[in-house]
Structure 1
Amino acid sequence: MTMISVNQLEEARVALEAPLYADVAGDLEVSFEFFPPKTEKMEEQLWEAVRTLEPLAPSFVSVTYGAGGTTRERTHATVARIQRETSLAAAAHLTCVEATKAEIDQVAEEYWAAGVRHIVALRGDPPTQGKFVSHPGGYENAAALVAGLKRLHPFEVSVAAYPECHPDSTDIAADIDNLRAKLDAGATRAITQFFHEPDTFFRYRDKASAAGITAEIVPGIMPVTNFASVVRMSAMCGTDVPAWMARLFDGLEDHPAARQLVAATLAAELSRKLYAGGVKSLHFYTLNRAELAFAICHLLGVRAKPVSAAAAA
């Protein structure tokens, strides 16, 4: 069990006695995830989100890589532009799917040449439903990919963690063994799959700690902008959707503004409880929309700075 410090007890007391977000210190590190746009309109939406969130001085922003490497060029173009045109540190997702080691290494080399120093290394999902099979001559899993990247250059590498167990893992112990293998291969931190209740994260953190894992495990926060979509995504990745959440979103299908307010409230409450439990880094899955992540960060005391100051932070 994780020991609770005196400072955490004091923080918990404040969280219970004070208005929920009163005087939160703003000592969080935050990061944001985007996906590469498919259309000109989506491109505009992405860049509006990037520019809105940039003044919050995130530790990094990441850009996803589609199943089967289907967004390879768009991911590279988006990451390279963020790195080139903003004050942000861009991190590129890279997977093992449908490519040889040489092909993946070439992508990594292109990122290094573009000034990208941070990779989010993932096994990845196959392009069609079914069990993952490593490509002939490819990296067999994320741990092997991490080791391969570290052989090429001194990349900072983040990996994925699964508080409710990856669907392909036999059990949580095997899942944590796999996390340890990725960290032992050279990864800096793990970022979790999204989850809906703080205890889900705390239980996982305790199990990882008991297994000897000392690296930072950063909670991934998914504000629920579309409940049906989150139910579908949760089912795909084995994430439990609590019954209380379904009740809260019931009847909001035709009320997008109200639904957004409820989504912001829930994600902010989850973030606040994680902070009270000693979490000092949060990673937001933005879905290329800035408003919810910006509002939650503001509630937690993370304030916008002039971009020139954000760049120096």
Structure 2
Amino acid sequence: MIGKIMSETVHHSSPLRVSFEFFPPKTPAMEETLWSSIQRLAPLRPDFVSVTYGAGGSTRERTHHTVRRILTETALAPAAHLTCVDASREDVDAVIRQYRQTGVRHFVALRGDSQGGVGDKFVAREDGYRNGAELTAGLKAIDPDVEVSVSAYPEKHPESPDFATDIDMLKRKVDNGATRAITQFFFDNDIYERYVERVRRAGIYIPVVPGIVPIHDFTKIQRFCSAVGASIPAWLAERFDGLENDPQTRSHVAAAVCAEQVLDLTRRGLSDFHFYTMNRADLCYSICHILGMRPARGDAAAEKAA
């Protein structure tokens, strides 16, 4: 069955489109790992690559440096993350203008986590943007032509009291100019599908791109899921049971599980996917290969990466 799905995917009239998310490095060694990952994945010709902010905007300067380096040293299209955390509107607007002067045309507008990290209550500054909807409006006020991606939550944001409130926030982002939603990661495709149905019923018609996370470390993913309110199906936990000290087998299982998830989503009509890489390229590259993606023939970088 998997072989049949793979064949259908490879020859689909609308090929898969992927984007990759990276986080800015904290040390020279991490920067080396990041650039190795970017070089490894670049031959797959992603639609764009995004670079995150840390909790509380703690990696702001490193994010700027990474985005500038992508612009000057690669042919990739970077999307710069922006948050509302611990910054005035004036400060955020200055960052936006700086990015535009550098050549950035795509932003990921997020409220962001508080300085205390995921799970800690967010408190907006009186002189700052309060949420992703206001930040999106600020971006469009500075340049109506920029592309703005925003977040979406198939299992609702952990701070939202209900789905109606959560989807109303997404609608406000769209009304203010958002052109794409990228979801929090999920592992149950039925949950994603039900969420998109809710979104469409609310009159929201922008693409809702699935956020996909390859599982490098199941224990860490479990902890993060608990913090952000994402669920882990029992069958998924069973796949990784007993592999805590077997990284090689764990990697094989992770690639298979992630590829199965994306292949199932392609059968449901999806063609765009956003991968949370964790700055580690090999697993993402393996998954994309299973999905039928190949570097262009004769591409020197691709041949080096392969």
SS of the residue 1:146 aligns to: helix
Contact 2:25–2:34, Cα closer than 8 Å, also in 1: yes
Cα distance in 1, alignment partners of residues 168 and 299 from structure 2: 41
Pick from 175, 199, 209 the counterpart of residue 166 of structure 2: 175
Distance change >3 Å, CA 291–CA 256, structure 1 → 2: same
Contact 2:209–2:272, Cα closer than 8 Å, also in 1: yes
Cα distance in 2, alignment partners of residues 192 and 309 from structure 1: 30
1:307 CA drift (Å)? 5.1
* Per-residue deviation, residues 193-237 of structure 1 (Å, max 9, x unmatched): 000111111111111111111100000000111001101111111
1:292 CA drift (Å)? 1.5
Cα distance in 1, alignment partners of residues 272 and 7 from structure 2: 19
Contact 2:9–2:266, Cα closer than 8 Å, also in 1: no
- Paired residues in the alignment total 295
What is the correspondence of 1:196-211 to structure 2 with a 5 Å cutoff?
196-211=187-202
Question: TM-score by structure 1 length?
Answer: 0.91
The answer to which of 238-247 and 262-271 deviates more is 238-247
Amino acid aligned to 1:24:
T
Cα distance in 2, alignment partners of residues 92 and 177 from structure 1: 25
Cα distance in 1, alignment partners of residues 250 and 283 from structure 2: 11
Moved over 3 A (4+): 16-20, 306-310
Pick from 108, 117, 120 the counterpart of residue 130 of structure 1: 120
Q: Which residue of 1 aligns with 2:226?
A: 235
Q: Which residue of 1 aligns with 2:239?
A: 248
Percent identity at matched positions? 52
* Per-residue deviation, residues 70-99 of structure 1 (Å, max 9, x unmatched): 000000000110011101000111000000
Amino acid aligned to 1:70:
S
Cα distance in 2, alignment partners of residues 124 and 284 from structure 1: 19
- Structure 1: 5+ residue runs without aligned partners? 1-15
SS of the residue 2:203 aligns to: coil
Amino acid aligned to 1:167:
P
Cα distance in 1, alignment partners of residues 301 and 166 from structure 2: 40
Distance change >3 Å, CA 143–CA 307, structure 1 → 2: farther
What is the correspondence of 1:269-308 to structure 2 with a 5 Å cutoff?
269-305=260-296
1:18 CA drift (Å)? 5.0
Cα distance in 2, alignment partners of residues 297 and 164 from structure 1: 26
Q: Which residue of 2 aligns with 1:19?
A: 4
Distance change >3 Å, CA 17–CA 288, structure 1 → 2: closer
Pick from 21, 27, 43 the counterpart of residue 39 of structure 1: 27
1:309 CA drift (Å)? 10
Contact 2:25–2:31, Cα closer than 8 Å, also in 1: yes
SS of the residue 2:7 aligns to: coil
Question: TM-score by structure 2 length?
Answer: 0.93
Cα distance in 1, alignment partners of residues 235 and 69 from structure 2: 41
- What's the Cα RMSD here? 1.6
SS of the residue 2:21 aligns to: strand
Cα distance in 2, alignment partners of residues 233 and 307 from structure 1: 38
Distance change >3 Å, CA 199–CA 31, structure 1 → 2: same
Q: Which residue of 2 aligns with 1:226?
A: 217
Contact 2:39–2:301, Cα closer than 8 Å, also in 1: no
Cα distance in 2, alignment partners of residues 209 and 126 from structure 1: 30
Pick from 45, 49, 63 the counterpart of residue 57 of structure 1: 45
Amino acid aligned to 2:61:
E
